[in-house]
């Protein structure tokens, strides 16, 4: 499984770290692998830069159960989906990007994430973890996809330790 994470409100790095550690605890994962953190320009309304990354792990949870858990962790760290602007500022954002080789298209969940291949702030950290990954429905690897898109929104990168 691969999830994208990000934040740009409050203490973004601390919130990301706490949210990922909470997720690892709930899933009873001892080894959650995380990319570096990328400071990126926000997509959408004018707002502070984001910190983004990608994490990988294994889970026994079904995709919708994992989605529920991701949204529960977001809420614990201040995200209120009912009141936020689309692509607006966030205290914590956890997106299910890939679930093994599954393709899912239902009302609540699309996997692979529908904009995964368009966003450098997702592809760059995914390349760190799995540059040659065969993604469902794609002919190109994350590394090839990243080379083909605009990367100007990636401002800097820093090591991230959970």
Q: Which residues are catalytic?
A: 79, 90, 93, 95
- Listed in order, strand segments (DSSP E) in the chain are 2-7, 33-34, 37-40, 50-56, 93-98, 104-105, 110-111, 154-158
Q: What's the token pair of residue 45?
A: 């309304």
Helix locations, the chain, DSSP H = 12-27, 63-76, 120-129, 142-147
């Amino acid at each position: 499984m691969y999830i994208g994470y990000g934040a740009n409100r409050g203490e973004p790095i601390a919130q990301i770290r706490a949210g990922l550690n909470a997720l690892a605890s709930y899933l009873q994962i001892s080894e959650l692998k995380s990319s570096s953190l990328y400071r990126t320009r926000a997509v959408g309304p004018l707002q502070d830069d984001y910190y983004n990354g990608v994490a990988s792990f294994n889970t026994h949870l079904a995709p919708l159960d994992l989605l529920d858990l991701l949204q529960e962790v977001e809420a614990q760290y201040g995200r209120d989906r009912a009141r936020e602007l689309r692509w607006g500022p966030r205290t914590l954002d956890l997106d299910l990007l890939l679930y093994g080789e599954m393709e899912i298209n239902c009302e609540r969940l699309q996997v692979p994430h529908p904009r995964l291949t368009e966003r450098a702030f997702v592809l760059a950290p995914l390349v760190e973890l799995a540059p040659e990954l065969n993604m469902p429905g794609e002919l190109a690897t994350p590394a090839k996809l990243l080379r083909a898109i605009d990367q100007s929104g990636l401002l800097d990168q820093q090591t991230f330790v959970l």
